Structure 1
Amino acid sequence: MLRVFALCLAAFAAASLPGHAADAPSPPLTLSEQGSFFVGGRDVSSETLSTLPAYAPSGTVTVDQVYVHYQIPVSPVRTPLVLIHGCCLTGKTWETTPDGRMGWDEYFVRRGFPTYVIDQSWRGRSAGNPSAINAVKSGKAGADTLPPVFSAGREAAWAIFRFGPEYPKVFPGMQFPLEAQAEFWKQMVPDWSAALPVPNPTVPALSELAKRLKGAVLVSHSQSGIYPFQTAALDRGGIRAIVALEPAACPDPAKEDLAPYKDLPILVLFGDYVDQSPRWAPRLKLCRAFVAAANAAGGRAELILLPEIGFHGNSHMLMQDKNSLDIADWLTGWLDKRVPAKD
């Protein structure tokens, strides 16, 4: 009886989520399972794990692993989504929006998608390696060996995330909830990506995860935009589609083999104000070239600008904008057409 009730409740939840789902309270969220695990990782032995007297400097640690948090709806009807955050952020990107609305993680679960939200390697709950820093602090290495680590200040991030052309100017019609800006800044963390090899250790971990799930859509954002493409180039196993939201880079068709993308559904999605951004306009141009070349090589790639399909005022953080659930609803339709559920 309880099982039947749960199934009915899940069906009601999915049915009551139109494009304007944020306008009314949602019914209780029903899950069959939730939890977390890690993929990837390697063991490292080091003599500089610590400079504190209470902790031994020598030992073995695991690094390069990727943290995964998952939620599985009752009787999932759609392909699992792997949600990959961008620069200076963590998996929080996909959770509750800065102004307290439903994030894409919950929304897609309610629509019947199992969701898997990761923290990139060396970010959030995915551990890094302090050895290089401690080696310098203890005098065993020179300062020039320190790894490059950076944080994006809010003044620079303002233009990068396209809230406006420069801090604190705002683009007209901006959809990002600027009244909750302080909450958004709290999401930002130090970024170690420049200290890591290429491809980022997140890439082979994504390959392991896609295979473990026996089929998944890799949904990337910004800095991580290139990762699903690199994962497909490494191994197509388990990858049912790629959705790249405002990718910082697409594969360069003049330099890279396009064979890994043949017959693979690919969506490259950009928001608004892109042509007004010296940072993003060239990236859009490269992605256009990639999509054209991939399709000429037998691909199934699409590039969509949100203003061209009726969504206006979207920032780089489109999954947190005020119309984020409308976009998610459109994306659900795209996924249903390009990535039908497996029998």
Structure 2
Amino acid sequence: MTVRHVLTLALALLLALPAAAQPEGPLTIERQGSFFIGGREVQADALSTLPAYAPSGTITVDQVYVRYQVPPAAGGRPLGRPLVLVHGCCLTGKTWETTPDGRMGWDEYFVRRGHPTYVVDQAWRGRSAGSITGINRVRSGKAPADELPTVFSAGHEPAWAIFRFGAAYPQVFPGMRFPLEAQGEFWKQMVPDWLNSLPTPNPTVPALSELARKLDGAVLVSHSQSGIYPFQAAALDRAGIAGIVSIEPGACPAADGDMAPYKGLPVLVLWGDYVELAPRWTPRLKGCRDFAAAANAAGGKVEVAVLPEMGIKGNSHMLMQDNNSLEIADWLAGWLARTTGSGK
């Protein structure tokens, strides 16, 4: 039986069940908190252009903010694998929290399913601070304008097509499941993106590697822009990485690259709907299929799941916020249990 047949059967069984309801009752947490992982100190000479603040000093950059929730072990059963949830372009860890229309996000849902969750803000994003010295050096005349760092924001209209709400703003794909009635709340989640001013790999990558070692058996769950990061982290060091779930990645590893880091590692690459209608995403899905074939030929355990091919239709690029997000999370919880086992 092929991987596609296994996934199709699993999805068929899921669809035969009643739709997953939002879990009710108090959320029980054994512990929660936040910390930073990674980071380095740098000397800077353009921290401020204001007379009241010194321009020179030491700052810390490249650190990654992590907020965690750990459920209690219920009935003597071991906890599920810790999940590290990494957001995509122009967003923060808010991606995984409450949905724009107020429903439970994957962060809480997986805690209720017995998985410790670790939600991060990528380096230089959200609560993971960066450095504004590149801007201030130009403003103060210490550097020419062409040395300004590249920072961008995604407007509502182009993001509409990128996130596959429709082919172009304000068109809507038929049957599309994103809660557009709450789109105003979604647009509020978007923040400036420093990706193109950062080195490769992004500083988030070694931070994820360090976090996986700290958790000693985590599944790295990425989305879109961050989709490649868990693969890059595994290439740095497999220690502590129990699996990878890459949701609609901006890129998978090249099919002609080194497959050794992925040998025996459970990997799921998950896609929503309308990919064949989106020129931005069609070649990326093909690239992930090519990677899966090459990795599996080298002893990998890579599965590519495309939801409409298995009977689940209408999902956007933001499938963790779509109106069937908990059904998908429920299926994903089954995949995790089947392929990665329990944590400690």
* TM range, smaller chain: over 0.9
Length-normalised TM-score, structure 2: 0.93
How far, CA to CA, are the matches of 1:187 and 1:193 in structure 2? 17
How far, CA to CA, are the matches of 1:21 and 1:143 in structure 2? 54
How far, CA to CA, are the matches of 2:311 and 2:235 in structure 1? 33
Residue 67 of structure 1 corresponds to: 65
Aligned alpha-carbon RMSD (Å): 0.9
- Kept after mapping to 1: 8 A contact 2:80/2:115: yes
Residue 152 of structure 2 corresponds to: 150
| Number of residue-to-residue matches in the alignment | 323
Residue 282 of structure 2 corresponds to: 281
Q: What does 1:132-151 align with in structure 2 at a 5 Å threshold?
A: 132-151=134-153
How far, CA to CA, are the matches of 1:301 and 1:19 in structure 2? 27
CA deviation vs aligned residue, 1:273-310 (integer Å, no higher than 9, x gap): 00000000000000000000000000000000011222
Q: What does 1:46-85 align with in structure 2 at a 5 Å threshold?
A: 46-75=44-73, 77-85=79-87
- Give the match's secondary structure for 2:134: helix
Q: What does 1:313-328 align with in structure 2 at a 5 Å threshold?
A: 313-328=314-329
Change (3 A) 1:207 1:196: same
CA deviation vs aligned residue, 1:215-270 (integer Å, no higher than 9, x gap): 1000000000000000000000100000000000000112x211100000000000
Distance apart, 1:342 and its partner CA: 4.1
The alignment-based identity, stated in percent, is: 72
How far, CA to CA, are the matches of 1:78 and 1:72 in structure 2? 10
- Give the match's secondary structure for 2:62: strand
How far, CA to CA, are the matches of 1:51 and 1:113 in structure 2? 46
Residue 201 of structure 1 corresponds to: 203
How far, CA to CA, are the matches of 1:292 and 1:54 in structure 2? 59
Q: What does 1:156-235 align with in structure 2 at a 5 Å threshold?
A: 156-235=158-237
- Kept after mapping to 1: 8 A contact 2:217/2:343: no
- Give the match's secondary structure for 1:21: coil
Residue 271 of structure 1 corresponds to: 272
- Kept after mapping to 2: 8 A contact 1:19/1:329: no
Length-normalised TM-score, structure 1: 0.93
Gaps of 5+ in 1: 1-17
How far, CA to CA, are the matches of 2:122 and 2:82 in structure 1? 18
Given residue 206 of structure 2, which amino acid in structure 1 is its aligned partner?
P
Distance apart, 1:19 and its partner CA: 4.7
Given residue 20 of structure 1, which amino acid in structure 2 is its aligned partner?
A
CA deviation vs aligned residue, 1:96-122 (integer Å, no higher than 9, x gap): 000000000000000000000000000
Given residue 108 of structure 2, which amino acid in structure 1 is its aligned partner?
E
Residue 100 of structure 2 corresponds to: 98
CA deviation vs aligned residue, 1:117-137 (integer Å, no higher than 9, x gap): 000000000001111100000
Distance apart, 1:20 and its partner CA: 1.7
Is structure 2 residue 298 aligned with structure 1 residue 297?
yes
How far, CA to CA, are the matches of 2:139 and 2:319 in structure 1? 41
Residue 11 of structure 1 corresponds to: none
Distance apart, 1:271 and its partner CA: 0.1
- Kept after mapping to 1: 8 A contact 2:82/2:343: no
- Give the match's secondary structure for 2:123: coil
How far, CA to CA, are the matches of 1:204 and 1:91 in structure 2? 18
- Give the match's secondary structure for 1:286: helix
Runs of 4 or more above 2 Å deviation: none
Residue 21 of structure 1 corresponds to: 21
How far, CA to CA, are the matches of 1:195 and 1:168 in structure 2? 31
How far, CA to CA, are the matches of 2:34 and 2:19 in structure 1? 29
Is structure 2 residue 42 aligned with structure 1 residue 40?
no
Residue 258 of structure 1 corresponds to: 259
- Kept after mapping to 1: 8 A contact 2:272/2:319: yes
Q: Which of 125, 136, 151 matches 1:123? A: 125
How far, CA to CA, are the matches of 1:84 and 1:266 in structure 2? 16
How far, CA to CA, are the matches of 1:244 and 1:160 in structure 2? 17
How far, CA to CA, are the matches of 1:309 and 1:72 in structure 2? 32
